[in-house]
Structure 1
Amino acid sequence: MLSRLSENRSASGLVFALLSAATFGISGPLGKSLLEAGWTPGSVVGSRIGLAALIMAIPAVWVMRGQWSRLRGGVALMAAYGSVAIALCQFFYFNAVARMSPPVALMLEYLAPIILVGWVWLRTQRRPGALTIGGTVVAMLGLVLVLNLLTAQQVDPIGVLWGIAAAVCLAVYFVLSAKSDGVLPPFVTVAGGMVFGAITIGVLALVGLLPVAATFGSVDLLGTGLPWIVPLAGITLVAAVLAYTLGIIGTQRLGSKVASFVSLTEVLFSVIASWIMIGDVPGPLQFVGGALIVGGVVMVRTDELRSPAAEAVPDFAPEALPAAEPATGALPIVERRA
């Protein structure tokens, strides 16, 4: 009986994790439709985070009933998580999306585990395992193809820098997630992060560091003109609130390690969503490059699973990481996200 319950829980967890990846995957094309209609990345991110914060605040308060004392140790965590892992990560990602295909921007962001491998190697002077090194090499080869470095047609270099910046923020997210275990309930951490993320975007906009502009006409989506509220509602309610909630449930049932592998399907869902929603599809070589990047990350993750459980883990080691948001998707939750 217990075995059957466990199997059912794992099966349902897989469904929730896949749905989370799928809902996060639509954020790129939805955001792209707003950007092409005249919205700035700051407006897209600020609206998405601000509305999500308002929606998630009430259930987060309910979750915290009777345990308000835990907030004292979690405010700094939520502030760092919200400002870097949510606000800046999404801002950088959508700046990349403004200059390239959403799936390509997402492929760049998913280099975060590879960035952490290099950081840990430099910091600890301890060489990673052979599988981790092999995965890093495979991912770097994938990056060469994603960026069209072997052809005359190159991806926008500024967009690449934005994508790499998003990957760095995602790496910071992983580190914060590893340090957050047990500090606050995951949903509360995400909701609080949304609040601090919205404050961060608001302050940057007020001091003039973040241009904010929006239009309120129709947007080109699904091959037709739709009201601007449609993609905004989708990117907030579906690709943020619902995606994070599904990610929490999926990770609780699968465990963060397994859920991290499932979260990699977000790249596939982003490709499909971009094709259907805005007719934007990466080229054949970029598809191969994306597959290599995902394959390299899988190799790194597999090496983590093979690591001895009793081995001491450095603060910034990949073994300490939970699964991946977007943030796009979320602490010990897999999602990023974008």
Structure 2
Amino acid sequence: MMNVSRSRPHLLPAAAAATTVVLWASAFVSIRSAGAAYSPGALALGRLLSGCLVLGVLMVVRGEGLPPRTAWRGILISGLLWFGFYSVVLNWGEQQVDAGTAALVVNIGPILIALLGARLLGDPMPPRLLAGMAVSFAGAVTVGLSMSEGGGSSVLGVVLCLLAAVGYAGGVVAQKPALGRASALQVTTFGCLVGAVVCLPFTGRLVGDAADAPVSATLNMVYLGVFPLALAFTTWAYALARTTASRMGATTYAVPALVVLMSWLVLGEVPGPLTLAGGALCLAGVAVSRSRARSRAVVPETAPGPRPERAPDSV
């Protein structure tokens, strides 16, 4: 019983990270559907407004108020870069390039997170994390190349996806300090609100697109706001508050593998052997980056007396 209770605090952040990865992977399928009827800015604004509504209700139910003043800098930066800028440029980029190229370019994000986290937050860069990121990035490259369509890429699309990766990385690194001063729900709610304010210039386009869009596209937009945004960003913030930005960034390398699986199940897009191999590499790299070395007590061979107990596994 004691071992179960001791491991539970470590299982909850892992479960939260897994929830985030699964829901973010599902977003790619929904964006593909909604993006055919909504422009990039309109889709971003509609998604953010849906997320704000759900998060606002949760804030009232839980009785949480405004974040402390010391948390606002990180909330504003993450809201601007990640919730706002990232959403628009990624939607736009995916209209210019195929899904494989987009996934490949955006997966530069975890590498940027690791570099920024080490430089700005003092995050450690253990060998397991570096090795796992290398394996996962190789898998992302494999998935991207296997899914790329000939002639489906454009310079503009690649640049937009690269900008999305930069916005994503900057938002994550800015969010980390804020989570030390405010709750995950507060940071997510007000970050989403900041992003919605940034996207307000697309209001007219959203109204026009919604009038012509099929119901399925609008439902996909709402789904994007409720689950991959409101729920997944909150579970992400909960997990990020309990680990380093570099380790959390490496976790998202599982997204391309799950996108392949979901596209197979939902869209009937059967992946080829190279795609499956790349997805397996992504998951293997995440497993390596999330693993922790066992710390063991060093016992001199000549030391007399009883042997000391082995130190518990590091957290």
Whether TM-score is above 0.5 comes out as yes
Rounded to whole Å, the distance in 1 between the matches of 2:208 and 2:269 is: 24
Match of 2:188, as an amino acid? V
Q: Name the counterpart of 2:102.
A: 105
Q: 1:256 aligns with which of 230, 243, 254?
A: 243
Q: Which residue of 1 aligns with 2:40?
A: 41
User: Which of 89, 92, 98 does residue 92 from structure 1 map onto?
Assistant: 89
Q: Distance in 2 between matches of 1:197 and 1:152?
A: 32
Matched ranges for 1:76-87 at <5 A: 76-87=73-84
The offset of 1:198, in angstroms, is 0.4
Residues 30 and 232, structure 1, Cα contact 8 Å, conserved in 2: yes
Mapped partners of 2:149, 2:255: distance in 1 = 29
Gaps of 5+ in 2: 296-315
- Pick from 189, 199, 202: which aligns with 2:200? 202
Residues 78, 189 of structure 1: 8 Å contact kept: yes
Q: Residues 1-49 of structure 1, C-alpha deviation per residue, up to 9 Å, x if partnerless?
A: 432223345456544443332222211111111112x311111111001
Structure 1 residue ranges without an equivalent (≥5): 220-225, 309-338
Superposition RMSD in Å: 4.2
Aligned length: 289
Taking the aligned partners of 1:154 and 1:121, their CA distance within structure 2 comes to: 37
Any conservation in 2 of the 1:111–1:167 contact (CA below 8 Å)? Answer: yes
Q: Which whole-Å deviations, capped at 9, do the CAs of 1:140-166 have from their partners, x for residues lacking one? A: 6556545549x9935513332222211
Give % identity. Answer: 17
Q: Which is further off, 54-63 or 38-47?
A: 54-63
Q: Is the 8 A contact 1:28 1:103 kept in 2?
A: no
Structure 1 residues 259 and 147, CA gap change in structure 2 (3 angstroms): closer
With over 3 angstroms needed to count, the CA separation of the structure-2 counterparts of 1:183 and 1:9, relative to structure 1, is closer
Query: What is the 5 A alignment of 1:157-306?
Result: 157=154, 158-203=156-201, 205=202, 214-216=209-211, 227-248=216-237, 251=239, 255-256=242-243, 263-280=252-269, 284-289=273-278, 292=281
Structure 1 letter corresponding to 2:174 = L
Paired amino acid for 1:18: A
Are 1:101 and 1:280, in contact at CA under 8 Å, matched by a contact in 2? no
Which residue number in structure 2 is paired with residue 326 of structure 1?
Answer: none
Matched, 1:5 2:10: no
Deviation at 1:275, TM superposition (A): 3.1
Aligned to 2:300: none
Higher CA-based Rg: 2
- Please identify which structure carries the higher helix content: 2
Which is further off, 178-187 or 263-272? 263-272
Displacement, 1:78? 1.7
Distance 1:137 1:265, change over 3 A: closer
Deviation, structure 1 residue 187: 0.9
Whole-angstrom CA distance in 2 between matches of 1:40 and 1:238? 20
* Bigger RCO of structures 1 and 2 (CA < 8 A, at least 6 apart): 1
Distance 1:168 1:13, change over 3 A: closer
- Residue 320 of structure 1 corresponds to none
- Larger displacement relative to structure 2 (166-175 or 176-185): 176-185
TM-aligned CA distance change 1:247 to 1:103, over 3 Å: farther
- Per the alignment, do residues 213 and 286 of structure 1 end up closer, same or farther by CA in structure 2, a change over 3 Å counting? farther
Is the 8 Å Cα contact of residues 142 and 278 (structure 2) preserved in structure 1? yes
> How far 1:178 sits from its partner (Å)?
3.1
2:54 corresponding residue in structure 1: 55
Moved more, 265-274 or 183-192: 265-274
1:276 deviates by 3.4
Residues 62-82 of structure 1 show CA distances to partners (whole Å, capped at 9, x for unaligned) of: 6565x75x5322333222111
The question of whether the paired residues in 1 share the 8 Å contact of 2:17 and 2:235 is answered with: yes
Residue pair 1:40, 1:213 contacting (<8 A) in 2 also: no
Give the drift of 1:291: 5.1
Instruction: Look up the match of 1:72.
Output: 69
Which residue is equivalent to 1:316? none
- When normalised by structure 2's length, the TM-score is 0.71
Contact preservation (8 Å) 2:70, 2:181: yes
